[in-house]
């Protein structure tokens, strides 16, 4: 949708193919974060030693269905490579280059939708229940600071002054003023769809099955029709790998399923997003209530949702927010498109010069959406984008 916005803004005639144009595949339940400080890749030098404990913890931040493991091995090997010290530094620099544009690009999009007031620059608070957990993340905080991310360390009492709903469990916290969030991510996408329709963007309700090469790229749809255009952008989230494969472009892409629970009446006040750093989940105050979200489950695109993961998040959250109700939330599951190196795929297909890719943003889909759309519009117009996109190319997967 953000790609369609910037392409239409550039004067192009745009058609969006979506099997459920008015649906909730990506933004009904996301955390609503424009998380500029999130420049640290998922893979870390010492992460491998923490994974077994997470997998054994029923409330832990990571779940892997055994039946899915064999097919994940190439992705996992590349993930481990991305955790080498020199790779972490390289990836963080690239994520920082994208994220430092995110606030301005998101505000430009929201202003066009008359939703600029829906972007809240209240920062975020990362909280810790143990000194050990805080010290273990010291390298990550130092890495953020090297890339211009402001971080202020405070103690538990100061954290409770900022957020009185936090319980006595919290010992340390870090203020991140460059984090922002939107009032309701679904409202943003709904308004964006209306805006695009008003400006002549066409929406086709069908499933894209394959890309067909030719003088003009074309997409074959589930209903048997074929749509061709001067250019094509593949921005199908976790389903993008199938479409790239139809053009023989290789990519390592996994569905990293995230769960959340939204409380319309949470019974507590939370003034800014809270990041529970040791448990790897967040709480975001939205116009529709308080959303508790996070976790990572690798099970593939077709596996049924395990909503016990969402209920587990609530159990974890109640340790930090004792006033949060145990029941009454609405669960949701979404498919994050995750690459092993935490970098999105942005750029031109090596197989067809008029096919472009924009997917694989993992936890930063909303954060990097407008920036990605703006960069893609430059590429489609054969202009030099303001950022070197070669490190984000699909060609890095060979």
Q: Render pLDDT for 192-208 as a digit per residue (tens, 0 to 9).
A: 999 999 999 999 999 99
Determine the pLDDT at residue 216.
Answer: 93
The residues that bridge with 181 in the sheet, in sequence order, are 33, 120
Q: 40-59 as b/e, with b when 16 or more CB fall inside 10 Å?
A: bbbbbeeeeeeeeebeeeee
pLDDT tens for residues 139-149? 999 999 999 99
Identify the CA nearest to 31 among candidates 235, 316, 261, 298. Answer: 261
| CATH domain 2-397 topology | D-Amino Acid Oxidase; Chain A, domain 2 (3.30.9)
Q: What are the domain boundaries of the chain? A: 2-397
What's the confidence (pLDDT) of residue 281? 96
Residue 43 CB partners (closer than 8 Å, separation 6+)? 79, 80, 81, 82, 83, 87, 88, 340, 341, 342
pTM: predicted TM-score of the whole model, two decimal places: 0.96
- The confidence score (pLDDT) of residue 179 equals 99
CB-based contact 213:354 (threshold 8 Å)? no
Helices (H) and strands (E) in the chain, counts: 12, 20
pLDDT of residue 219: 97
Q: Which of 50-54, 182-186, 275-279 has the lowest mean pLDDT?
A: 50-54
Q: Is 191 helix (H, G, I), strand (E, B) or coil?
A: helix
Residues in the chain: 398
Q: Check pLDDT > 70 for residue 26.
A: no
Which comes out higher in pLDDT, residue 20 or 138? 138
| pLDDT the model gives residue 225 | 95
3 state DSSP class of 259: strand
Asked if residue 59 has pLDDT above 70, the reply is no
């Amino acid at each position: 949708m953000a790609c369609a916005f910037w392409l239409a803004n550039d004067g192009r005639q745009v058609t969006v193919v979506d099997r459920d144009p008015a649906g909730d595949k990506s933004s009904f339940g996301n955390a609503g974060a424009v998380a500029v400080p999130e420049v640290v890749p998922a893979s870390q030098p010492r992460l491998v030693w923490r994974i077994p404990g997470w997998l054994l913890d029923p409330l832990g931040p990571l779940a892997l269905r055994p039946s899915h493991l064999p097919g994940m091995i190439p992705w996992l090997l590349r993930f481990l490579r991305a955790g080498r010290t020199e790779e972490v530094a390289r990836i963080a620099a690239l994520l920082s280059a994208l994220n430092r544009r995110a606030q301005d690009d998101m505000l430009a999009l929201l202003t066009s939708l008359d939703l600029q007031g829906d972007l809240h620059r209240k920062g975020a608070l990362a909280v810790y229940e143990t000194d050990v957990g805080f010290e273990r993340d010291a390298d990550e905080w130092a890495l953020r600071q090297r890339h211009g991310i402001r971080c202020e360390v405070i103690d538990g009492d100061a954290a409770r002054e900022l957020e009185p709903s936090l319980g006595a469990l919290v010992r340390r916290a870090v203020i991140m003023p460059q984090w922002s969030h939107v009032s309701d991510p679904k409202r943003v996408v709904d308004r964006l769809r209306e805006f695009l329709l008003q400006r002549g963007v066409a929406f086709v309700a069908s499933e894209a099955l394959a890309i067909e090469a030719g003088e003009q790229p074309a997409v074959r749809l589930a209903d048997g029709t074929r749509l061709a255009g001067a250019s094509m952008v593949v921005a199908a989230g976790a389903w993008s790998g199938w479409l790239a494969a139809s053009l023989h472009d290789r990519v390592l892409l996994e569905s990293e399923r995230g769960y959340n629970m939204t409380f319309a009446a949470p019974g507590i006040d939370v003034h800014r997003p809270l990041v529970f750093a040791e448990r790897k989940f967040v709480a975001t105050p939205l116009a529709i209530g308080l959303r508790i979200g996070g976790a990572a489950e690798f099970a593939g695109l077709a596996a049924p949702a395990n909503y016990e993961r969402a209920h587990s998040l609530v159990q974890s959250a109640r340790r930090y927010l004792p006033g949060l109700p145990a029941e009454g939330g609405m669960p949701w599951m979404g498919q994050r498109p995750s690459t092993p190196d935490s970098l999105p795929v942005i750029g031109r297909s090596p197989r067809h010069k008029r096919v472009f890719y924009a997917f694989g943003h993992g936890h930063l889909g909303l954060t990097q959406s407008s920036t990605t759309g703006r960069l893609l519009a430059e590429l489609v117009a054969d202009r030099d984008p303001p950022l070197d996109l070669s490190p984000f190319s699909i060609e890095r997967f060979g």
